[in-house]
Structure 1
Amino acid sequence: MPDVHDTTTDPRTLVDRDRRRALAAVVEQHRTLLAPAAEEHRRRVAQRVSVLAPGHRALYLDEAERLIAALMIDPQRHAALELDAYRAIRDGIPMAFEAATARYMLRRPDRPPLAIHPGMAEHRLGTIARSAARGLALEQIHVVALTTAQMAAPHEATHTPTELPVVRRGGTGSSIRRAQG
């Protein structure tokens, strides 16, 4: 069989290549946003553990690196990341919340609406990037990320009670019996 050389490019590889480039750009932006908070966190942890033995010090420094890595976008693990959803959350674009389906809807004029579920990787990572852009410390960003991953939908928010609760003081067994008796 003769060798056949392909002279045209497969359009699927172009899309894949463009997608990888876009993801690489988003990863780099995300790392850049988190870099100041990550460096400050490394510095504070190193300062705190400087008095410990080298073996114990290494444990704390490794844990700090794991915390930082958990807040980053991993190109392999997040290869299917919906970049438009991530950018919308990161940039704080207003969205409508649909209570029936418990998801945010990003309305786009030239494309169909995009559903973003609370707790999705796009939502969590976009919130992390937005918190980092606001200058929060890494510990605060981590708390926001954990809260976002377990976030209740806006329709599930707690409501302030209409009546103030009545607080009765506790007491010992004999004082309770006298009050009831």
Structure 2
Amino acid sequence: MKMRKSTSKILSLVLVLSFVFSLSAVTASAADTNEQDELVTFILEYDKSCEVYELSDGTTVVFGVIPAASTYAGYDIEKATARPTATHTYTCSANLGDECRGAIENIDEENSMTATMEYDATSAPEDNVSSTRTIVPGDRLVMVAKSTSGNGLAGIMTATITAEKASSVIYSYSVDQHW
């Protein structure tokens, strides 16, 4: 049993690494022209410590930190204050689209924050993934989840924001699901 688990983990790691290398080999100019592919390409090129997960249900999840001044901010933003912590939850519905993206932007002028984004796959609860990063003023943590099975995306995205070394932090949070 132990041998099967380690073999499965190694195989999963090989698949994830091959996916990462295949995506990182695509330059921004060679990527598809749709905004979602450009966003993933930008994350992979900008954040060398980005995290890419391939879930058992065929969903790919990418987490990365990008500058807030980037052109990838084309969705609704809500201004809020975490005193010292705030949490947002969004339920991805299969009939709303095959891709969900969320962002937490630090718009505070002085304080950093710890931001965690988590994606819980409805069809594969064992595949829940998350990323926690320190976000300095002017940066944002971005998550892109894309169903590669051709079906709509079903899951729960949770964002948690905590002020670092301060009683509060001002941030923007956004989420969008589409085909």
Instruction: Determine if the TM-score, normalized by the shorter chain, exceeds 0.5.
Output: no
With the length of structure 1 as denominator, give the TM-score of the two structures. 0.29
Which has the larger strand fraction? 2
With the length of structure 2 as denominator, give the TM-score of the two structures. 0.29
Name the larger-Rg structure: 1
